[in-house]
Structure 1
């Protein structure tokens, strides 16, 4: 996969398009917690809070064309591009950065469907064990980068948010939080256990094996963690945003 000079922008686009509800919910929660001083008021660019949700696109997508070792070797390149993007924003006046790490890639339904066909490759949660290492190393290096940037730019604030732990906790303890399906996609085709078919995306109608089929949404998405095999449901995003706002998954905590 080739990274453009602004590859970090792809992550921002992903966050806005597919995880916009997390940001919406966080914004409301921040205001309720009287942290509106971190939101844009006057001098928007300089006073804005810049939120990045990075890792899933670059690291996860790389597995579809690279070996595990190649993906791991690729991580520093991803982060160098991200660092360059952050510095460009800093040079334009940005001073408040809120950086989310990548979630448990091993538990994405699409990855389980493609890389977990052999049951021996699945962990106790039904997720693909081999994808753990890359996600863990990416998050470790991202955390180190955030600390480096904080030390380099003393007049800026860099907050690292451990999204991985929040989502892993949700999937492992889903029933405690009111969910019934931690892995299976709400909107998809194929039924249990994954309800996912890479040939047809959520909402599409196609002819498969001689039959016209539609990838439909489930009756109650609040019972599902995963929406379409890749993204989380509204209910899961609500849970994630609530956990973020506790501050205990942030470094530094707030």
Structure 2
């Protein structure tokens, strides 16, 4: 399924003198301009794009147990992904024609071909705010970057400097992180709220984001997509905790996410001018998710306010476990899998809405 070097794009159909069209399992297609090929997809972030790195560290932020993964590759495979199946890192790797799932860098069973076509360094619970990762003992963003530097050394030793340099410079990099900063660290840490109001806290987040992107550029990344925050106030757990009796979307959380997104987008535009040989692409996930929630029937969903796992109101991580009652029979009808993370199908729809019209901006 994954052939090294000459056959890195197993899902291609090459039309004569045309762009490459990459077909996903759901039938959607994206175009890579000028017969471009992508050697690898490399991901940094949090639980949205963690395919199991947290399995191999000492933290409570884990999901390597059922019902997580109950629909992964045919069923009942809890891999450490915070969903019932695939997560966006997998879906994005498929969109760029690289492979159908993106492994965790810390997986001890990684093969050379896994490394050469990309991995995820993401760790559930991480954030832009340095405090976020510390609070829950997960892999911080700076530590993820250190892991990437180690990754570069490994592939250089395996395939030589020239091939490694090609993988690093032509690979697609995805950064998806920040929701835990607002939903957890800021909301639940009194001394953080004493230090910062929302405008100054989102300034801190944006400063950390831009610093990371500059460091990532410094170690060779050039094609970098950065996800903005989703409408955090509308995820089930936030509705339960702060949405009142009616479990309404929490406006303050949504406003904080939107404020951060505007700062991130603006500063990324400035960074693009500073690094003209780079392609930094801001990926808006806020509005697409909000539209999915407000218009579920348009996307084939039925339930938008609670997750599939248990009551769907508060269960996430260790609270969503084999003993959870009232599991929904068909997760594809739900936008959310647990009280914080979407289902595989919602991730697939959202990834298409966010990424498909931005593909050419990477090249």
* Bin of the TM-score, shorter chain as denominator length: 0.7 to 0.9
Give aligned pairs, total. 222
* 2:307/2:334 contact within 8 Å kept: yes
Tell me what 1:26 maps to: 92
Tell me what 1:5 maps to: none
Tell me what 2:301 maps to: 179
* 2:223/2:362 contact within 8 Å kept: no
1:9-41 deviation line (CA, Å, top 9, x unaligned) = 973565224476222222222229xxxxxx877
Tell me what 1:109 maps to: 236
Tell me what 1:232 maps to: 342
Q: Do residues 96 (structure 1) and 223 (structure 2) align?
A: yes
Tell which deviates more after alignment, 15-24 or 94-103: 15-24
Structural mapping, 1:90-239, within 5 Å: 90-119=217-246, 126-189=248-311, 194-196=312-314, 201-203=319-321, 205=323, 214-215=324-325, 217-239=327-349
Question: Any unmatched runs of 5+ in structure 2?
Answer: 1-42, 52-81, 99-116, 119-162
**Bigger relative contact order, structure 1 or 2 (CA pairs below 8 A, ≥6 apart):** 1
What CA distance in whole angstroms lies between the structure 1 residues aligned with 2:331 and 2:337?
7
Q: Do residues 11 (structure 1) and 28 (structure 2) align?
A: no
1:186-231 deviation line (CA, Å, top 9, x unaligned) = 0123xxxx543589711154xxxxxxxx355311000000111000
Q: Give secondary structure in 2 for the equivalent of 1:31.
A: coil
Q: Do residues 48 (structure 1) and 171 (structure 2) align?
A: yes
What is the TM-score when the length of structure 2 is the normalising length?
Answer: 0.55
What CA distance in whole angstroms lies between the structure 2 residues aligned with 1:252 and 1:15?
21
Q: Give secondary structure in 2 for the equivalent of 1:15.
A: coil
Question: Any unmatched runs of 5+ in structure 1?
Answer: 1-8, 33-38, 206-213
* 1:99/1:160 contact within 8 Å kept: yes
Structural mapping, 1:72-83, within 5 Å: 72-83=199-210
Aligned pair in 2 of structure 1 residues 141, 188: CA closer, same or farther (>3 Å)?
same
Deviation for aligned residue 1:251: 10
* 1:60/1:105 contact within 8 Å kept: yes
Tell me what 2:182 maps to: 59
Aligned pair in 2 of structure 1 residues 127, 91: CA closer, same or farther (>3 Å)?
same
Q: Give secondary structure in 1 for the equivalent of 2:282.
A: strand
- What root-mean-square deviation, in Å, do the aligned CA atoms of Structure 1 and Structure 2 show? 3.0
What CA distance in whole angstroms lies between the structure 2 residues aligned with 1:245 and 1:143?
15
1:140-165 deviation line (CA, Å, top 9, x unaligned) = 00101110110111111101111111
Q: Give secondary structure in 2 for the equivalent of 1:184.
A: strand
Deviation for aligned residue 1:240: 0.9
